[in-house]
Amino acid sequence: MAWEITRTVRVRLDVPDDRKSDLHATNSKFQYCANHTADWAWRYPNEDCVTSKSEAEAAIYDDLREETDYLHANLVQKAIKRATDDISNCVDRLADGENTSKPEYDTFSIVYDKRAATYYRDKVSLATINGRVECAYDLPDNPDDTPHGEYLLNDDYDFATSTVHYDSESDEFYLHAAMERELDVARPEKAEHSRVLGVDCNVDDHIAVTSTGRFVGNADYLNHNRREFEKRRASLQQTGTPRAHLTYHRIGDRFGRWSEDYLHRCSKAVVEEANQQNCSHIAFEDLEQIRDRISDGKKFQQWAFRELQQQTKHKAELAGIVVETVEPSYTSQQCSKCGTTLDENRDEQHFACLDCSYTANADYNAAKNIARKLALKLQRGQKSPAGGAFCQYALKSGVMTVNATEVASDQYVSAERESTDKPTASAVGS
């Protein structure tokens, strides 16, 4: 059973000077259609809003085409769809008791599918109010290892419905190309049995620790480089010369690339581990909920965690592995062997259970709890938890299967036979 993945690549378009106004005029008409659809479909609070694209099309498509001097039929349809999709999201928010208002369209953004655009690997031909305009892509000289090389120029990916944007500061147009690929792996959500790899992320010591005892990356090293970079940048800012200003930006870019690359190697190691252990799922803690734990809510560390999770998700997708998050409470205070939860169990990097005397690296203990949490969640989500499919989580000593009793009570029913050896260290950065 195949499934699809999509990647968005941003590429600058080389628009001929004498055709820029055609794109702007096209965007005005696209906005006109989207705004008029929103006006027509938004009926809150007196009536139900219209969220069906076909209902909106039946009612206003002909008028919109006439009013826009026959803007390309597919662009009118896409504008209607954009407004009804947005209103549908608004309706969901209202249902959740959140505040929202009628969507309005005033920024440059046009939706192009394959009927209003022809996509090539080096250029795109776009429908405008004044016939087609052909725009070459501004590609990097060496596209290997860039998103352009990896997706845009890769024949494994096909173009899907994309958007064209305009940056007024630089007076440049950009294509946000949606690249789609069909993967020949079973859709993991549908797998009968699941096996979870738990991953604990940290701001010091190792960046990621898996439930199988693999230690990935060095957070202290990442933070150290960040501090050195900040120091260097601060002194350049004080210098204040134009040359210092240039260097300031250059080292910023370089550090950005370096740290992204570092996290790429870490996420690769996590996915490798999941693959080796035949895992169908990777579990992280929900980032929104661990913010308090990140020292001073530091932006860089939040960025690094988000980046690591995002990159892991992208790489995992290609391997047919699902990344999910679990709610983080007590993952570091609970004993992964007997389930006892005590604040005193954890002392910095050392975990020692006051009840059963189990001792382990604290992050490793947490990773096992994270794995177990997702395995329980998956087991609960099954139609008949008692029969058939089973949910497991991967540990250094083998796999644990969560059973129905455990799911019902969330109690540990069997003590895990786990050695207290130091887990094996792994390759990245340590």
Interacting residues with Zn ion (CB under 5 A): 335, 337-338, 340, 353, 355-356, 358
320 near 185, Cβ under 8 Å?
Answer: yes
Of the pair 250, 417, the CB lying nearest Zn ion is at: 417
Provide the minimum distance between the beta carbon of 360 and Zn ion in the complex, in angstroms, as a whole number: 10
The set of long-range contacts for 169-174, using a CB threshold of 8 Å and a minimum separation of 24, is 172/12, 172/13, 173/12, 173/13, 173/15, 173/20, 173/23, 173/135, 174/10, 174/11, 174/12, 174/13
Least separation in angstroms between residue 354's CB and Zn ion is: 8
| Nearer to Zn ion among residue 109 and residue 341 (C-beta) | 341
HEC secondary structure over 137-200: EECCCCCCCCHHHHHHCCCCCEEEEEEEEEECCCCEEEEEEEEEEEECCCCHHHCCCEEEEEEE
Exposed/middle/buried for residue 33 (C-beta within 10 Å: 0-12, 13-18, 19+): buried
Bridge partners (DSSP) listed for residue 359: 352
CB 277 within 8 A of CB 244: no
Kindly tell me which of 203 and 360 has the beta carbon lying closer to Zn ion: 360
Distance CA 60, CA 36 (A): 9
Complex with Zn ion: residue 355 or 421, whichever CB lies closer: 355
Least distance between Zn ion and beta carbon 147 (Å): 46
Between 323 and 335, whose beta carbon lies closer to Zn ion? Answer: 335
β-strands 117-119, 123-128: how paired? antiparallel
CB of 350 to Zn ion, least distance (A): 14
Amino acid, single-letter form, for residue 364 = Y
Q: Are 195 and 277 within 8 A, CB to CB?
A: yes
Cβ(179)–Cβ(160) below 8 Å? yes
Q: Cα–Cα distances in Å, from 388 out to 192, 281, 357?
A: 8, 19, 35
184-207 core/surface letters (b: 16 or more CB in 10 A; e: else):
eeeebeeeeebbbbbbbbbbebbb
User: Least separation, in Å, of the C-beta of 339 and Zn ion?
Assistant: 7
CB closer to Zn ion out of 22 and 363: 363
Residue in the structure block whose two tokens are 């249902």:
95
Instruction: Point out which residues pair with 158 in neighbouring strands.
Output: 180
Query: What minimum distance in Å lies between the beta carbon of 416 and Zn ion?
Result: 10
Report in angstroms how near the CB of residue 344 gets to Zn ion at its nearest. 12
Residue 265 phi/psi, 5° resolution? -70, -35
Q: In this complex, which beta carbon is closest to Zn ion, that of residue 2 or of residue 356?
A: 356
Cβ 391 to Zn ion shortest distance, Å: 22
Nearest distance from C-beta of residue 340 to Zn ion, angstroms:
5
With respect to Zn ion, which residue has the nearer C-beta, 358 or 390? 358
The residues pairing with 4 across neighbouring beta strands, listed in sequence order, are: 182
Q: Which is nearer to Zn ion, 29 or 368 (CB)?
A: 368
